[in-house]
Amino acid sequence: MFIGTEQLTHTYMPGTPFATEALHNISFGFRRGEFALIIGPSGSGKSTLIQHLNGLLRPTSGRVLFEGKSVGSDKHELLRLRRRIGLVFQMPEEQFFSETVFDEIAFAPRNQGLQEEEVEKRVMEALEKTGLQASELKNRHPFQLSAGQKRLVAIAAVLSLKPEVLILDEPTAALDTTCRKNLFNLLTGLNQKEGLTVVISTHHLDEAAALANRVLVLQQGKLVMSGLAADVFGKREELYELGLALPPVTEIMHGLADKGLPVKTAVYTLQEARREIRALKRRYKS
């Protein structure tokens, strides 16, 4: 196991009338280099779980594990951990506070005490990875950017720390089709070319389903499914019961299978669906 939890329980506002158990007895592990999804309905504990993974929240009981070691509460150790495990919040652009894109991305490396020369290198590299035009954008005010660009700047701000794990909470929320596609291309590249372990929480499986190796499903703070993507996505009725939905194209394949056509249902992209239906034609004709 590279990163995971052991019997993690988290209670918000313990000892008050508002005490809510947000996570109950969660144990799982992701391997290095995996592309993992944490899915579940609103309020199931996705964001709470994610914020434990880089020590932002502390377990009420149980523990968080990174490289086999328990994540402790030592302040310096946690700072080191957060450089290695980067977290991108939900709607991260709402937390922008710098005057320029450059300063926004430079904030974390500067905070880390790096020399300005190294800071600049980190900012440029991070911008380049996200596909944003550094020369054009670095001196702009972050609020002048488009929604998709802002989201990428927020991700660049985390990439500037050169993390080994990149965790994103609902990264595609409120983005249009083109922006979502760009973002998933970026994440695929970071995962496959740079070997980053990517963990995403989402309830929109449309683009994410095709990329995931491993999937956790949360409901009301409990881990209700966990395993390889193909196994979890195979349980369509159970997912529906949980308030989740497979990508529309997967639903089409299920629709065909339900009518007795011999098609594979573990299909998450249009091109896969096209091949599958074409193969069906051939079988029928021969």
Partner 1 sequence: MHGQSSIIVESKDVEFYYSGEEETVWPALSGISFTVNQGEYVALVGPNGSGKTTLLKLFNALLIPSRGEVLVKGISTANEDTLPEVRRTCGMIFQNPDNQLVATTVEEDIAFGLENLALPSREIQNRVLETARLLGLEKLLKQPPHLLSGGEKQRVAIAGVLAMEPKCILMDEPTAMLDPAGCREVLKTVRKLNRERGLAVIHVTHFPEEAAGADRIVVLNEGQLIADGAPGEVLTNLPLLHSLGLRGTAAVELAALLRADGCPLPPQILHNRELVDSLCSLEQNS
Binding-residue pattern over the window 95 to 134 for partner 1, x denoting contact by CB under 8 A = ----------------------------------------
Minimum distance between the CB of residue 101 and partner 1, rounded to whole angstroms?
A: 17
Measured CA to CA, the distance from residue 83 to residue 121 in angstroms comes to 17
Among 137, 215, 249, 265, binds partner 1 (CB under 8 A): 249
Using the rule CB under 8 A, which residue among 173, 228, 230, 279 binds partner 1? 173
- Site of tokens 């309905």: 41
Secondary structure string (H, E, C) spanning 33-89: CCEEEEECCCCCCHHHHHHHHCCCCCCCEEEEEECCEECCCCHHHHHHHHHHEEEEC
Under the binding rule (CB under 8 A), the answer on residue 203 touching partner 1 is yes
DSSP-assigned beta bridge partners for residue 4: 29, 65
Per DSSP, 123 falls in state H
Among 12, 56, 84, 107, the residue binding partner 1 under the rule CB under 8 A is 12
- From 63-71, 95-103, 141-149, 157-165, span contacting partner 1 (CB under 8 A): 141-149
Residue 56 contacts partner 1 per CB under 8 A? no
Q: What is the DSSP string of 147-206?
A: HHHHHHHHHHHHHTT--SEEEEESTTTT--HHHHHHHHHHHHHHHHTS--EEEEEES-HH
Q: Which is nearer to partner 1, 23 or 106 (CB)?
A: 23
Residue 265 has which token pair? Answer: 């249902």
C-beta closer to partner 1: residue 79 or 270? 270
177 binds partner 1 (CB under 8 A): yes
Near partner 1 by CB under 8 A: residue from 1, 56, 124, 245: 245
Please report whether residue 148 would count as binding partner 1 according to CB under 8 A: yes
User: Under the criterion CB under 8 A, does residue 278 sit at the interface with partner 1?
Assistant: yes
The residue count of the chain comes to 286
Query: For the chain, how far is it from start to end, CA to CA, in angstroms?
Result: 48
Task: Identify the residue among 79, 228, 230, 270 touching partner 1 (CB under 8 A).
Answer: 270
Question: Which of the 8 DSSP states describes residue 100?
Answer: S
Closest approach, Cβ 123 to partner 1, in A, equals: 24
Measured CA distances, 25 to 37, 60, 274 (Å): 19, 10, 42
Under a CB-based contact definition with an 8 Å cutoff, are residues 219 and 187 in contact?
Answer: no
Q: Which of 1, 21, 29, 41 binds partner 1 (CB under 8 A)?
A: 41
Q: Is 230 in the site for partner 1 (CB under 8 A)?
A: no
Between CA 57 and CA 52 the distance in angstroms is 5
CB of 214 to partner 1, least distance (A): 20
Angle at 35 between CA 180 and CA 153, to 5 degrees: 40
Task: Select the span of 129-137, 185-193, 223-231, 256-264 touching partner 1 (CB under 8 A).
Answer: 256-264
Interface with partner 1 (CB under 8 A): 12-13, 18, 20, 40-44, 90-91, 94, 146-148, 170, 173-179, 203-204, 242-245, 247-249, 251-252, 255-256, 259, 261, 270-271, 273-274, 277-278, 280-281, 284-285
